[in-house]
Amino acid sequence: MTDIKTHYRNCNICEAMCGLEIQYKDKEILSIKGDQKDPFSKGYNCPKATALQDFYNDKERLKTPIRRTATGWEDISWDEAFEEITEKFSAIQQAHGKNALAIYLGNPNAHSLGNGLFLKPFMKSLGTINRFSSASTDQMPHHVAANFMLGAGMLIPVPDIDRTDFMLIIGGNPVVSNGSMMTAPNVIGRMKAIQKRGGKVVVVDPRRTRTAKIADQHLFIRPEKDALLLFSMIHCVFAAKKINLRHLSSMVEGVEKLEHLAKDYAPETVAEFVGIEANAIHALANDMMTADSAVCYSRMGASTQTFGGLCQWLTNVLNIVTGNFDRAGGAMFPQPAFDMIRNHKKGHKSSFGQYHSRVRKLPFFNGEFPVATLADEILTQGEGQIKSLITIAGNPVLSAPSGDKLADAFDSLDYMVSVDIYLNETTKHANIILPGTTGVENSHFDIFFNSFSVRNTVKYSPPLFEKEENQRADWQILAELSARMAGVPLDHKSLKITPEMILDMELKNGPYGEQGMSLQKLIDNPHGIDIGPLMPCLEARIKTENGKIHILPQLYVDDLPRLNAVMTKPARDNQYPFDLIGRRLVKSHNTWTQNSDRLVKGKNPCTLEVNPEDAKALGISKGQILKVSSINGAVEIEAVITDDIQKGVVSMPQGWGHNQKGTKMSVAATQPGVSINDLTDANRVDTLTGNAALNGTPVAIAVA
């Protein structure tokens, strides 16, 4: 008789929601592999899933609070930590106002059931509007487009990849990312299925990515010119008189004005600036118009640039005017069992621009300001200056633009707290670090990523291992801090609410509640439940006041002169002649997986890709150390010579730079790399949305 047991759960490291089968004995994980019975991932999982074992076993992972002192870090009790934090935060807010305290939320919060449910009341308890997150270095343009076109920032269309006949991917690498704002495990298999049924996949990117190598066609494009390409394709649809709104014809407003604006973007007009020949643009547009079903999906390269807002608006527009919106095989809308817009009223007043940041006047949206201005708000003196900060599951020193400036800003704070399991490049600046449980110690349900899923499924994962006696889950940390800041007694009934209680209520009140959807039903189905393919549902889910799709919101029209200037202004100064773009790696996820031995071992992953012609002109050979410099700073990095990168463009991955003193991540330090955000410039943003423009950073390269 064996005592080896099996546990089923979703991986919560990236967006793909892959089902896992974990074999374990006592408190030892023996194996992690894909769950063949998971109705969504069907046995697929990527290498990142194995990191769950490394996180659990990591001896450097913090489990109880620590406090920074003049002689180093010391262990303290939870009660002592909470008392000091409450006292310090309260005193700073009393002296300088509620907004003297700021909050930063990192990417892992979106992958946490507890944080997803408890962050909103926590932020409310602090009473500050100075909230920042990784969303504004990532997907904010998607939310702004959904807000102004459809009435709700979370009503984001996703590609119906399993039924499309033509898929155009702009600035995305879903084979490596497993989707990204398109939750889709096994994208390789899904892309090959398109081709097997006679369809076609085209990738437009300054780099020949792994996705591009699997696609039927790859077109190089000059960085930050995607909006011109998209508008040119829309021009082609109108010029061919092939606009086809299908069942949405009575719901779309602004088509006539859009047609007038599109006349200025003929392929022959934009081709030289985009770097794609006019006939190729015509062919792309024709593919979108003539395929039985088609979808355009644009992602990180199109979002994290100076025209990110226009890109995501135009992506939606292209899908609408070609008749591929809210339709099988096109851009569709999930109907998740936990519906995040269930209580979002039609015509709800948008928060966009409700406030503007104090120093640079960047727009407030979705409950936050752009992180690109966080350092300014800390370092610039005057009324409203940020004096204290709490970071939750984030490492902005490495993941946000001008990271070195953020480090200086954090050093200048009166008081700082971090909720994190590691002493890393950001948390080393904190006065107290509060570590939560992680991975297999937590229950899990994908609140956010079911809203971006290419199929409607639902799954709950109980904890594999109970936490140790002195550990706290992140949501318990947030709940107690909320209570203490609000002066609520620690035996109050609100502190007895668990994530499972809220989840059960939302499932029962959600769209499938009448069919008996509940937490217990999910517990009884540990592999998950398949609800079915995406279905046309926009008429029921749209949240604009008049129930119409606003295809031409005025803020995008007002931003067009900035785009048009691209076609008139002279070439950039020769001081920084190259465009720097990022790249995803299949074995890393931002900065928070780098202390996993399974994921970082092997050859150096942090390299600079250089085109052979550029390398020859500059006398660069493979393996040489290059100095890469920008207006913000300089780094030294190993060269890789490859024709996978466009001439005039260089690429390095983000999420590295684990070579700083004062951290305690020894595995990450074996492959430290350098931080791309020592080069990116926080002053480069998409001025429409405030999202950071991480791609297209002007740089110079030379042999070090």
126 in a structural domain? yes
The total of structural domains in the chain comes to 4
Three-state secondary structure call for residue 229: helix
* Among 128, 663, 105, residue whose Cα is nearest residue 387: 128
Averaged confidence pLDDT in the chain: 96
Task: Indicate if the alpha-carbon torsion angle 391, 395, 401, 407 is positive or negative.
Answer: positive
| Co-location of 106 and 215 in the same domain | no
What is the rounded average pLDDT of the residues 28-34? Answer: 96
184 in a structural domain? yes
350 in a structural domain? no
The encoded tokens of residue 161 equal 């990849």
Q: Is the pLDDT of residue 573 over 80?
A: no
* 262 Cβ contact list (under 8 Å, min separation 6): 231, 234, 235, 238
Q: Can you give the pTM of this predicted structure? A: 0.97
| DSSP H/E element including 704 | none
Give the per-residue pLDDT at 374. 98
The model's pLDDT over 467-498, given as tens digits with 9 standing for 90+, comes to 999 999 999 999 999 999 999 988 888 889 99
Q: Is the pLDDT of residue 76 over 70?
A: yes
Residues 137 and 693: their CA atoms lie apart, in Å, by 8
Residues 295 and 191: their CA atoms lie apart, in Å, by 13
The encoded tokens of residue 106 equal 């990192």
Strand partners, 390: 103, 417
Three-state secondary structure call for residue 432: strand
Q: Is 660 left (phi over 0), alpha (psi -120 to 50) or beta?
A: beta
Cα angle 189-192-195, degrees, rounded to a multiple of 5: 155
| Co-location of 551 and 500 in the same domain | no
Residues 265 and 258: their CA atoms lie apart, in Å, by 12
Give the per-residue pLDDT at 562. 97
Sheet of strand 294-298: strand arrangement: 217-219, 200-204, 166-170, 294-298
Residues 649 and 245: their CA atoms lie apart, in Å, by 38
User: What share of the chain has pLDDT > 90, as a percent?
Assistant: 92
Give the per-residue pLDDT at 347. 82
| DSSP H/E element including 20 | strand 19-25
Cα 471 versus chain centre, distance: 28
Give the per-residue pLDDT at 588. 86
What is the rounded average pLDDT of the residues 161-170? Answer: 98
Give the per-residue pLDDT at 58. 95
| Co-location of 608 and 634 in the same domain | yes
Question: 209 or 47: which carries more pLDDT confidence?
Answer: 209
| Residue 590 binned pLDDT confidence (cut-offs 50, 70, 90) | confident
208 in a structural domain? yes
Give the per-residue pLDDT at 127. 95
Three-state secondary structure call for residue 357: coil
| Co-location of 108 and 252 in the same domain | no
* Among 105, 175, 112, residue whose Cα is nearest residue 463: 112
Q: Of how many residues is the chain composed?
A: 704
Q: Other C-beta atoms within 10 Å of 376: how many?
A: 20
Residues 594 and 486: their CA atoms lie apart, in Å, by 36
Secondary structure (DSSP) of 86-119 = HHHHHHHHHHH-GGGEEEEE-GGGGG-HHHHHHH
Three-state secondary structure call for residue 182: coil
347 in a structural domain? no
Residues 600 and 598: their CA atoms lie apart, in Å, by 6
| Co-location of 193 and 266 in the same domain | yes
Least confident of 112-126, 162-176, 514-528, 584-598: 584-598
Give the per-residue pLDDT at 329. 98
Residues 664 and 425: their CA atoms lie apart, in Å, by 9
| Co-location of 490 and 626 in the same domain | no
Q: Is the pLDDT of residue 23 over 80?
A: yes
Residues 333 and 331: their CA atoms lie apart, in Å, by 7
Three-state secondary structure call for residue 347: coil
| Co-location of 75 and 120 in the same domain | yes
The residue among 480, 511, 532 that closes a domain is: 532
Residues 451 and 448: their CA atoms lie apart, in Å, by 5
CATH number for the domain that contains residue 51: 3.30.200.210
Domain range enclosing 81: 66-133+363-532
| Co-location of 384 and 472 in the same domain | yes
What is the rounded average pLDDT of the residues 81-85? Answer: 98
Give the per-residue pLDDT at 282. 98
Give the per-residue pLDDT at 286. 98
| Co-location of 27 and 103 in the same domain | no
What is the rounded average pLDDT of the residues 491-506? Answer: 92
| Co-location of 380 and 243 in the same domain | no
* Single-letter amino acid, residue 575: Q
Phi and psi at 289, nearest 5°, equal -75, -30
Do residues 627 and 555 lie in contact, with contact meaning Cβ atoms separated by under 8 Å?
A: no
CATH number for the domain that contains residue 650: 2.40.40.20
The model's pLDDT over 380-397, given as tens digits with 9 standing for 90+, comes to 999 999 999 999 999 999
User: Residue 260, class by beta-carbon neighbours within 10 Å (0-12 exposed, 13-18 middle, 19+ buried)?
Assistant: exposed
What is the rounded average pLDDT of the residues 187-204? Answer: 98
Do residues 382 and 399 lie in contact, with contact meaning Cβ atoms separated by under 8 Å?
A: no
The model's pLDDT over 85-142, given as tens digits with 9 standing for 90+, comes to 999 999 999 999 999 999 999 999 999 999 999 999 999 999 999 999 999 999 999 9
* 542 Cβ contact list (under 8 Å, min separation 6): 150, 151, 155, 251, 346, 548, 549
| Co-location of 194 and 124 in the same domain | no
Q: Is the pLDDT of residue 670 over 80?
A: yes
Give the per-residue pLDDT at 493. 84
Give the per-residue pLDDT at 303. 98
**What residue ranges in 291-358 does DSSP mark as E strands?**
294-298, 331-332
* Among 167, 207, 204, residue whose Cα is nearest residue 187: 167
| Co-location of 554 and 616 in the same domain | no
The residue among 482, 517, 532 that closes a domain is: 532
Do residues 203 and 368 lie in contact, with contact meaning Cβ atoms separated by under 8 Å?
A: no
What is the rounded average pLDDT of the residues 169-184? Answer: 94
The model's pLDDT over 218-240, given as tens digits with 9 standing for 90+, comes to 999 999 999 999 999 999 999 99
346 in a structural domain? no
How far is CA 658 from each of CA 67, 624, 674, rounded to the nearest angstrom? Answer: 22, 21, 7
CATH number for the domain that contains residue 310: 3.40.228.10
How far is CA 526 from each of CA 17, 77, 529, rounded to the nearest angstrom? Answer: 14, 36, 8
Strand partners, 636: 627
In terms of DSSP bridges, do strands 634-641 and 625-629 run parallel, antiparallel, or are they unpaired? antiparallel
The model's pLDDT over 528-549, given as tens digits with 9 standing for 90+, comes to 999 999 999 999 999 999 999 9
586 in a structural domain? yes
Give the per-residue pLDDT at 492. 84
Residues 240 and 148: their CA atoms lie apart, in Å, by 28
Residue corresponding to tokens 């480090």? 407
Q: Is the pLDDT of residue 466 over 70?
A: yes
349 in a structural domain? no
**What residue ranges in 597-683 does DSSP mark as E strands?**
607-610, 625-629, 634-641, 649-651
